[in-house]
Each structure stands twice: as structure tokens, then as C-alpha cells.
DNA sequence: TTCATAGTTCGATGCTAGTCGAAGTATGTG
DNA sequence: CACATACTTCGACTAGCATCGAACTATGAA
């Protein structure tokens, strides 16, 4: 079966953290060459254990669902040898990991925080194949100062899910993600560091952000 | 890993009935020669999946414990869900889905029905990381004829959640799950089919079961 | 004792499948 | 544009392992 091979076992173990990892990272993790890992990853995906997400030139792999994770957990329990510690992924620079610009929207831990809060509060809804702004969500972003009518004029997608490469969770992109970051800057919540992608929060901005998007 | 090989998978599947089988029987079940089976059985025992009991010139093999059975059940669930398991259609399959023995407790739709009813009636409580029998539940199972004091004497866990591969929901295992199935048989509610995992209900048993565990 | 059955170990064989080098595609960067 | 990076496919090599025949041990029956 699929789980038997040591390389695949390593890959699955690495993914037990719940994070999505790239093919190259998984190859290093499993101790095999990229092309070998590629072959394993395809088999695991065909076997229904993984799901894959393409983003730019990266391919992020994650366990397909909770049932797979649970079953693997049980298997790990049986196998006496426990998985070794995962090395930390993402940039060493903690500031970059905290908040940065991704194209032109907010990414990093703060981006993920915003995304999760908006989902939890019902402002963003994940419907069949697409992320949409709810009626309540429209009022919410208007209150934050976003000119929603201006956004409606362009045809570009309003909300998009973007996989965060440091947090390995989703954050918000699309027109709305872009407009929100612009609004944060206009309102003095955040400041861009020159010549870098780092976004720093002012003390007031940080407090206001946490109020609007409770973790 | 050990479970991967088809011959070994057949052996383990055969042992899911909870019965102990001899090496020769398992060879026939797996469709391999006795010497091949012997080699597999040794590996499975070394791997901690089986336990062996010598009796006369026979060697009886069984799954080592309930944890192994549960994990295998979960694995079969994944495989079945992804369609990688031989799909047997016909009455045998539906009977197996309805009620079967999982190691030594009741699984299938009826197992799930029992589990849900006991949760709904407050007989089973899901507390921090563990399933427990409530005070009311203790009275309930005593009324059904279970000798709870005898069960208390052993150290094995009383209640365990076991993921059902056909229903994809939980059913009850552990000492209590085992004792309940035994009680159903003693009371004439159910009957085991020889050489299979199917559990059939007598008409009276079915009615009594539905009264005790309303869907 | 002899015969039969249950199960094992040993050794040879053959095939599966994991592995990586080389080359190809796709995407981002300067 | 050229160049770098991420990842894939193709093909050949090879290690590992499942398989079974033959021979061995152990228990039981006559």
C-alpha cells in the first residue's frame, strides 16, 4: 500500500503538522531527490491521501482531509518510532513572517489573522468554488473606510484565497485584499518599510487591527 | 510497511472477525502457500500486529489487541472510500454494512445507531480526550444484562470510539462494546454467521434493539 | 515404531517498485 | 530578452522482497 514506503512515510509524517509544504521541501524531508519525491507525491495524490494546490511556481501539498490525518495518527501510534521534529519553515526574519506585502495585499500572520476573523464573523463565505463577501461583510469593510462601489466597477475578482508561504494558511487577496491593505496605510495603521516587503504596524494600528480582526 | 503486501492484507482482513485462525487457514485465506504465509505471519508478529498461541500442533493467530483492530478498521475505511478495496456488491455487502463484528464489538449501521442513541440519551459522555459511561449509562447497560462489575475488574479501557469504515461515523468499542455484543448474542438478539463478520438480527432482537437504541 | 498433519527454515528465482541522471515544462525575476 | 528556480517526465539501473520447492522439526494417531 501507499503508506509503506519509507520515503512516503516521511512525507506523510511531515504533513501531519497540518501545514502545506512544497514538493522540494518534502523531498528534503523524505531524504530523496526531487524527481523521486515528485513520483511519490503523484501516487499519494492519486491514492486520495493528499490534495495539491498550485500557486505560482510552487506546488503545495497537504493531507487531503481530517479522516486521513486521523488514520495516520492511529498508524503512527502503532508504529513505535515517532516522527522526528519538523524544521521551521518560512523566513527567518520574524518581521517578515508577521506581516508583509504579497503582491499588494497583506500576508503573514496578520494576513492569516484577518482572513480567519472575517470567516469566523461571517463576513467572508466560502461557497461552491469561490470566496464571496457577505452582506454583513460589505457593511463591515465599508465601516473600515473601503470604497466598495469603486471596487465594484472593475471586473477583477473581489475575494481570492491566497496560500501564505510562512504561515502555510490562507489569507485574503483579490481586489478586496488589495483595498484593505491600502486602507490600513491610509488610516495610519501600517507602514511599508522602504525596499522590503515588510509591513510594520503602528501601536494604534495594531490595537485597531486586533479589534477589527480578533484572533 | 507491513500492511502493504496483498497477502498480509488478506491475512489481517481475515483476522478482523476477531477469531483466532491457524497458520494453514490463513494461508488459504490469503491465497498463498503455507511457507509464504509462515514468513508473513512471523513478520506481522515481529511488527506487533499479531499475537500467537500454540495449542497442540496448531498455531492460532489473532490481532494483537483492539488498538490494532481499530487502526485496521480506519485504514479499510480510507481504502474503501477511495475505491481501492475490492468492491463486493450484492446481499453480502449490504449485510456487512448493516451489522458486522469489528474485532469483537458491533460495527456497521447498527453499531453507529447504538453509539448515537447512547450519546443522545446521555449514557455516553465525551469528555476531555475520552469517552466515559455516565451514571445513568451504567444503570442502562446493567438493565440490558451486562455484568458491569466483572468488566471493572480488568484494566482495559471501558469505552472507545472506533471509526466505522462503511458508515464513516463512530461506533463503540472497548470492554463495554465487546460486552454489549456478547450480551446481544446471549439474549438471542443477534447471531454470528459462520466464517464471516456478518451479524444478523433475529426479528425479536431487532425490535428490542430498536427500542433500546432508537435511531 | 510408522505414518500423517502442522508448521517451519533454507535457498533460488523472478518481478516489483524505488531511485536518480538527464532532459523537458512552467513560472518568476532582472 | 536571458536566467534562475520549481517541478515534472522519461528511462535505465538495481535492491529488496514475495514466492514456492525441498527439506526439516514437532506433535498426534495407530
Residue of A nearest to B5 (CA): A1
Rounded to an integer, what distance in angstroms lies between the CA atom of residue A157 and that of residue A174?
6
Report pLDDT for B144.
94
CATH number of B6-64: 3.30.1300.10, 1.10.10.10, 3.90.1170.50, 1.10.3720.10? 1.10.10.10
Asked if strand D comes closer than 7 Å to A9 Cβ, the answer is no
pLDDT, averaged per 10 consecutive residues of chain A (215 residues), comes to: 78 79 86 88 88 84 81 70 31 66 79 91 80 91 92 81 70 87 90 70 88 90
Report pLDDT for A82.
26
Rounded to an integer, what distance in angstroms lies between the CA atom of residue B113 and that of residue B214?
8
Report pLDDT for B147.
94
Residue nearest to nucleotide D19 (CA to C1'): B36
3-state class of B83 per DSSP? Answer: coil
Asked if strand D comes closer than 7 Å to B11 Cβ, the answer is no
> Is the reported ipTM for this assembly greater than 0.85?
no
Nucleotides in C strand less than 7 A from protein CB? 5-10, 17-23, 26-28
Report pLDDT for A90.
39
B123 vs chain A: nearest CA distance in angstroms?
Answer: 25
Chain A to chain B Cβ contacts (< 8 Å): 50
A127 CA, C18 C1': separation in Å?
41
Do B200 and B209 touch, CB atoms closer than 8 A? Answer: no
Report pLDDT for B124.
92
Rounded to an integer, what distance in angstroms lies between the CA atom of residue A76 and that of residue A67?
14
Interface test with B, best of A13, A74, A75 (most B CBs within 10 A): A74
Report pLDDT for B188.
93
Report pLDDT for B52.
85
Angle between helices A109-120 and A203-212 (to 10 degrees): 30
The verdict on a CB contact (< 8 Å) between B75 and A75 is yes
Low-confidence ranges of chain B (pLDDT < 70): 1-2, 80-93, 128-129, 163, 165-168, 195
Report pLDDT for A67.
76
B106-165 pLDDT, tens per residue? 988 899 899 999 999 999 987 766 788 999 999 999 999 999 999 988 888 888 887 676
Nucleotides in D strand less than 7 A from protein CB? 5-11, 17-23, 26-28
Do B177 and B160 touch, CB atoms closer than 8 A? Answer: yes
For B204, phi then psi, to 5°, come to: -65, -40
Is CATH 1.10.10.10 what the domain over A6-78 is classified as, yes or no? yes
For B117, phi then psi, to 5°, come to: -65, -40
Domain boundaries, chain A: 6-78, 94-212
Do B215 and B113 touch, CB atoms closer than 8 A? Answer: yes
Rounded to an integer, what distance in angstroms lies between the CA atom of residue B184 and that of residue A98?
58
For the beta sheet containing A50-55, the strands, ordered from the edge strand earlier in sequence to the opposite edge, are A21-22, A58-63, A50-55
Amino acid at each position: 500500500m501507499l503508506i509503506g514506503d519509507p520515503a512516503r512515510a516521511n512525507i506523510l509524517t511531515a504533513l501531519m503538522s497540518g501545514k502545506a509544504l512544497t514538493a522540494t521541501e518534502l523531498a528534503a524531508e523524505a531524504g530523496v531527490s526531487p524527481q523521486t519525491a515528485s513520483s511519490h507525491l503523484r501516487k499519494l495524490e492519486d491514492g486520495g491521501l493528499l490534495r495539491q494546490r498550485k500557486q505560482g511556481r510552487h506546488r503545495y501539498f497537504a493531507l487531503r482531509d481530517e479522516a486521513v490525518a486521523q488514520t495516520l495518527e492511529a498508524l503512527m501510534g502503532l508504529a513505535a518510532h515517532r516522527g522526528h521534529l519538523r524544521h521551521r519553515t518560512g523566513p527567518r526574519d520574524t518581521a517578515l513572517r508577521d506581516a508583509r506585502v504579497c503582491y499588494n495585499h497583506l500576508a503573514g500572520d496578520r494576513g492569516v489573522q484577518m482572513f480567519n476573523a472575517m470567516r469566523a464573523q461571517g463576513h467572508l463565505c466560502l461557497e461552491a468554488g469561490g470566496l464571496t463577501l457577505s452582506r454583513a461583510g460589505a457593511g463591515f469593510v465599508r465601516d473600515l473606510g473601503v470604497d466598495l462601489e469603486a471596487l465594484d466597477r472593475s471586473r477583477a475578482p473581489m475575494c481570492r484565497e491566497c496560500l501564505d508561504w510562512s504561515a502555510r494558511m490562507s489569507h485574503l487577496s483579490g481586489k478586496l485584499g488589495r483595498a484593505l491593505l491600502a486602507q490600513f496605510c491610509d488610516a495610519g495603521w501600517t507602514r511599508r518599510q522602504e525596499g522590503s516587503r515588510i509591513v510594520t504596524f503602528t501601536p494604534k494600528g495594531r490595537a485597531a487591527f486586533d479589534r477589527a480582526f480578533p484572533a
